[in-house]
Structure 1
Amino acid sequence: MSTISSQLEWEVEHIVADDEGCRFYLDRYKPFRLDALKQDPDAFGSTHEREINFTDADWLGRIKKPLAKTFVAVSPHDRRVLSATSLIGPLSNAGPVSNPSQASAEMRDGVDQQQIHGEASLVLFQISGVYTMPEARGRGIAKALVKAVTEKAMDEANRLRRQLVLSVVVYSTNYAAISFYESCGFVADAEGPRISFNPVKNSSEEELCMRYLWHYHRSPE
């Protein structure tokens, strides 16, 4: 585990895929994820019924993806996960996808970035949706997580000396999420909503792609 920032009520951490991180993922992150899927099924592209049947190997396969970095906000007292998101990338396609984790799994580890990007001056990342437990909302935790992942993405872009393209995909009817990401420095793409089919739920949803304004950043409240 790597601590990014700390408050009295929570700490933002990056889960590293070492022995300690894998134990934390199974003992703390897995229950958080299953509870979230059960409490707010409409907020996710997956389902509780699907993931409750995952084996430990299935869960650990997620954290071990080389292009996926999971960030969590935890209670420092009992290590309970309060909020989580993932930073996916660098990706091979400038167009954001509904399931960035799946896209990252299909890419080869160690691919030269100049080969996978048509625009060599860009580095492309995507955030999976931030989810915060209802009892932990309204404290600025989600903004702290977004700040951590955007800074991680910007650090990587600076290291590669490339311009960052950071995006997130939200349901177009989730006005609270849209407003939240706007407050974090994201803007909706000019193309507007698009229809995307979700094979897990066997349904189509209208989605909106939002991109981070890398030259403008608001600090968490």
Structure 2
Amino acid sequence: MDIAIRRATPEEYETLGEITAQAYLGDGLLDFGESDWYLGELRDVVKRAAAAEVLVAVEHDRVLGGVTFVPSGGPMADIAGPGEAEIRMLAVAPEARGRGVGEALVRACTDRARATEGCVRIVLSTQRTMHSAHRIYERLGFTRTPERDWNPIPHLDDISLLAYELEL
């Protein structure tokens, strides 16, 4: 596997935004009423990169996927508390799935969390139907933390997100 994980460059933001949006759309993850708003968030890599660290997986200068790493709170954190980093918006292009890209991106976030002073845990939220992602998280040692499950759109009961964490 000749895939490199590094920070996204501004020239890659649009491509990564589209990969992320299409991954969520293709997997049926935006079939709730306010999807237009979240689709815009998924595409807005400029906003994410200003508030967190956006990583890409590339092969021969082709973006295969990406993830947002939130090292210590800030506007991009959903559930991270003090001493916690967070993983957000993991996405892999359909044609690159099954090649270890998602796992490599999660490992890069874990490495960054370990290198972050004072960080003792990395957390993330995931939809119930993201079974491939759940397998990656569990394979890498993440455990479910049901007490941290939450709902980003409180008036829609079926959108509750599952929480995972990894003690560092």
Q: TM-score range by the shorter chain?
A: 0.7 to 0.9
User: Which of 50, 54, 62 in structure 1 is aligned with 2:48?
Assistant: 62
Structure 1 unmatched runs, 5+: 1-6, 16-20, 93-99, 105-115, 118-122, 215-221
- Tell me how far apart the structure 2 counterparts of residues 41 and 50 of structure 1 sit (CA, whole Å): 15
Matches within 5 A, 1:1-221: 7-8=1-2, 10-15=3-8, 21-26=9-14, 28-42=15-29, 47=35, 49-50=36-37, 59-65=45-51, 68-76=52-60, 79-91=61-73, 101=76, 117=82, 123-156=83-116, 160=117, 162-189=118-145, 191=147, 194-198=149-153, 203-204=156-157, 205-214=159-168
Q: What is the CA-CA distance between 1:52 and the residue it aligns to?
A: 7.0
Runs of 4+ residues deviating >6 angstroms: 43-46, 51-54
**TM-score, normalization: structure 1?**
0.61
Measured in 2, the distance between the counterparts of 1:163 and 1:60 equals: 25
- What is the percentage of aligned positions where both structures have the same residue? 22
Tell me the SS of whatever aligns to 1:101: coil
The structure, 1 or 2, with the larger RCO (C-alpha pairs under 8 Å, 6+ apart) is 2
Larger radius of gyration: 1
- CA contact 2:144–2:164 (8 Å) conserved in 1: yes
Q: How far 1:148 sits from its partner (Å)?
A: 0.8
Distance across 1 between alignment mates of 2:72 and 2:77:
13
Rounded Cα–Cα distance in structure 2 between residues aligned with 1:128 and 1:44: 19
SS at match of 1:130: strand
Deviations 1:147-183 (A, max 9, x none): 1111011101xxx3x3511111122344433222100
Aligned residues: 164
- CA 1:169–1:144 in structure 2 vs 1: closer, same or farther (change >3 Å)? same
One-letter code aligned to 2:160: E
The residue identity in structure 2 corresponding to 1:62 is R
In structure 2, what is the equivalent of residue 107 of structure 1? none
In 2, the alpha carbon distance for the partners of 1:35 and 1:72 equals: 16
Q: Which runs of 5+ in 2 are unaligned?
A: none
Indicate how the Cα distance of structure 1 residues 89 and 206 shifts in structure 2: closer, same or farther if over 3 A, else same. same
